[in-house]
Structure 1
Amino acid sequence: MRILPLVTALGMSVLLSACVEYGKPPEKTTGAQDYNDYCAACHGPTGQGDGGTAATFAKKPADLSTLAARNKGTFPTTKVMAQIWGYAGKKGKGVMPDFAPLLEGDTVPYDGGDGIATPTPIRLVELAEYLKTLQVK
Structure 2
Amino acid sequence: MQRVFLYPIGMIALFGLAACVLPGDETAEQTTGAADYAAFCAGCHGPSGVGDGEMAEGLLQKPADLTALAKGNGGSFPTTRVMAQIWGYTGGQDGGRVMPQFAALLDGDLVPYDGGDGIMTPTPIRLVDLAEYLKTLQK
Flag whether TM exceeds 0.5 (same fold).
Answer: yes
Q: How far does the alpha carbon of each residue in 1:4-57 deviate from its partner, in whole angstroms, 9 at most, with x for none?
A: xxxxxxxxxxxxxxxx85232111110001001110000001110000111111
The TM-score with structure 2 as length reference comes to 0.74
- What does residue 132 of structure 1 align with? 135
- What does residue 114 of structure 1 align with? 117
Work out which of the residue numbers 29, 32, 37 in structure 1 matches 2:31. 29
SS in 1 for 2:127: helix
CA contact (8 A) 2:88 2:100 kept: no
Structure 2, unmatched stretches of 5+, are 1-21
Alignment of 1:1-137 (within 5 A): 21-86=23-88, 95-99=98-102, 100-102=104-106, 104-136=107-139
* Poorly superposed stretches of 4+, deviation over 3 Å: none
CA-atom RMSD in angstroms? 2.3
CA contact (8 A) 2:44 2:52 kept: yes
Distance in 2, matches of 1:98 and 1:112, equals: 19
1:96 shift after superposition: 2.8
Which structure has the greater CA radius of gyration?
2
CA contact (8 A) 1:43 1:51 kept: yes
CA contact (8 A) 2:88 2:101 kept: no
Aligned residue pairs total: 114
Q: How far does the alpha carbon of each residue in 1:76-114 deviate from its partner, in whole angstroms, 9 at most, with x for none?
A: 00110111122698xxx9653441121x22000000010
Distance in 2, matches of 1:77 and 1:57, equals: 25
CA contact (8 A) 1:38 1:97 kept: no
Structure 1, unmatched stretches of 5+, are 1-19
Counterpart residue identity of residue 110, structure 2: T
Closer, same or farther: CA 25–73 of 1 in aligned 2, 3 Å: same
The TM-score with structure 1 as length reference comes to 0.75
